[in-house]
Structure 1
Amino acid sequence: MKLAVSTLGLPGEGVAAAVETAVRGGCDGLELRLHPDTGVHAGLDAAGRAAVRDTIHGHGLAVAALAGYTKIAAPGPDEPVAAGLRADLELAADLGATGVRVFPGGDDLAAAARRVRAVADLCREHGVRVFVETHDSLPTGAAVAGLLDAVALPDVTGAIWDLLHPWRHGEPPATTLAALARHLAYVQIKDAVSAADTTPRPLGAGSVPLDACGELLRGFPGWVSLEWERTWYPHVEPVAEILPGARDWVSRYAISSA
């Protein structure tokens, strides 16, 4: 496992501050939220992209993924969705990211398949992927696996298991992993007060079954990102105070027991 920290936990701070937090927290990389407030978005010109890339790579960090907001299964015409996804993927290629996080945003699996197929050649050319998160309209592993099966492009897609959402919708972690196993590319860790109250809590202080998830993921070779949602919950602790717990969690489950 490699640990990243999401810039969702650093509201109002730029790339340089995110890099400093990640380095001090013992992270291997950053998950970059795509938004003008973060300084990272598809509207950056070539010089801006180079500056972001060089700042991150110059401190020995990788860009684990870009956290985009495209909704690939949302109702409506295909081209605006495909165009937004294409722009984010091009940014990912320029920054050296592994891919772009997207949301389902609906349950139109046929539309999702068309939209991902429209960017498949770009993904293959640049070595980037479309990562669908267990979120919003398709919060469970079973639902996201169904979407990715419909897309049927395993070389350019993958699933993000956000440990909170499937569990709070009643899907046990073992069931989530069984559903996502052939698609799983990325994991987001977090803890929360309860299934009904998603206010963030330090890892192990809430109700998300993190130990059970860790045992299931023991030896997972991919990225694990701490998604500390201080952007949405500004009263919670700074992400720097939460990172040691994330580092400990990754260290505990990084090595296979075999």
Structure 2
Amino acid sequence: MKLALSTLGCPEWDIEQICSVGREVGYDGIDFRGYQEQLDVTRHPLFTEQSDTTASKIAHIGLRTSAFSSSIRLCDADAREANVTEAERLVEVATAFDADRIRVFGGGDSDRSTDELARIGGDTMNAILDIDGASDLRWMVETHDEWTSSQDCRRLLDELPEEHTGILWDAAHTIRLADETPTETLDILGDRIEYVHIKDAVLDMSHDDATDDGYVYTLPGTGDLPMNDVIAALHDDGYDGWLAYEHEKRWHPSIPEPEEAFPAFVDWFRSLE
């Protein structure tokens, strides 16, 4: 498997520090979810008018851009125009960075049925694929929000063109929020999973920086989530794609600093090999 760090984990770092630390501690790539003060990197000059310089910096140090993680929500009917506009910017940036994967969310109005939301998602995805260059990329729906359970994700996939779309498995979400074991998730979605997010957490309902379901993110291998089982299940399933460490420092400032967390992830993963 190839290891990527998510820039969610280092919201104060500049591109030089991201690249140098990433290469030094053993990552293969960078998953861009925000850069410093800007969450949408397609609106930052380093990724637009300065894209050639930034992409060269990443390549020169021996890293790749594993993905751009967008805020697109396919099943939000009211945001269709905004979603397509964001996708247009993402296609341009991804092309400049020689990246071939874009993360999207399912999202949508929880008052609508799963079937209706899935149809909306399919319509939005088809509109995105009409963008010049969009069909050269992989559009990955994350197991997130209304689309955390594997069965629901399967319903959404029914509406999406298989040749251009897949699943980004956020293992912490399916375990915590859908009550699925890693093997259960892979049994249902394994043939469509092409990217994986890893993070660990401890249950602490009283913590000021806990998630909505009471978990606090911690260093990998030190929490309550069976992340070792996730890696074992991926190995058993023959997965050899990207494994991105999504350390959510941007959203949860009290969790460990990136200087500690990024090396800890690589050390933990290597200890399982």
Provide TM-score, normalisation by structure 1. 0.89
1:114 partnered with 2:123: yes
Work out the CA distance in 1 between the residues paired with 2:246 and 2:187: 23
Structure 1 counterpart of 2:175 = 167
RMSD: 2.2
CA contact (8 A) 2:33 2:39 kept: no
Deviation at 1:181, TM superposition (A): 1.2
Question: 2:6 corresponds to which residue?
Answer: 6
User: What letter is aligned with 1:193?
Assistant: V
Q: Give 2:111's aligned residue.
A: none
Aligned counterpart for 1:80 among listed residues 57, 79, 82:
82
Closer, same or farther: CA 149–240 of 1 in aligned 2, 3 Å: farther
1:36–1:240 distance in 2 versus 1, CA, 3 Å: closer
Cα distance in 2 between the residues matched to 1:155 and 1:123: 16
- In the other structure, the counterpart of 1:180 is 189
Cα shift readout 1:42-70 (whole Å, capped 9, x = no counterpart): 23565321122111111110000011111
122, 142, 147: which is aligned to 1:138?
A: 147
Change (3 A) 1:27 1:36: closer
Residue 103 (structure 2) pairs with residue 91 (structure 1): no
Runs of 4+ that moved beyond 4 A: 121-126
SS of residue matched to 1:150: coil
- The match for 1:230 is 249
User: What is the match of residue 67 of structure 2?
Assistant: 65
Aligned length: 253
One-letter identity of the residue aligned with 2:20: E
Query: Quick one: structure 1 residues 234 and 89, their matched pair in 2 at CA, closer, same or farther if it must change by over 3 Å?
Result: same
Amino acid at match of 1:6: S
Greater displacement, 160-169 / 86-95: 86-95
Paired letter, 1:199: V
Tell me what 2:206 maps to. none
CA distance in 1 between counterparts of 2:272 and 2:188 reads 20
Once the two structures are superposed, what CA deviation does each residue of 1:180-231 show, in whole Å capped at 9, x if it has no partner? 1121010011001139323211111111111211111014211000000111
Distance 2:107 2:122 in 1: 14
The 1:98/1:198 distance shift into structure 2, 3 A limit, reads farther
Paired amino acid for 1:174: T
Provide the rounded CA distance (Å) in 1 between the counterparts of 2:174 and 2:220: 17
Q: CA deviation at 1:232?
A: 1.2
Unaligned 5+ segments in structure 1 are: none
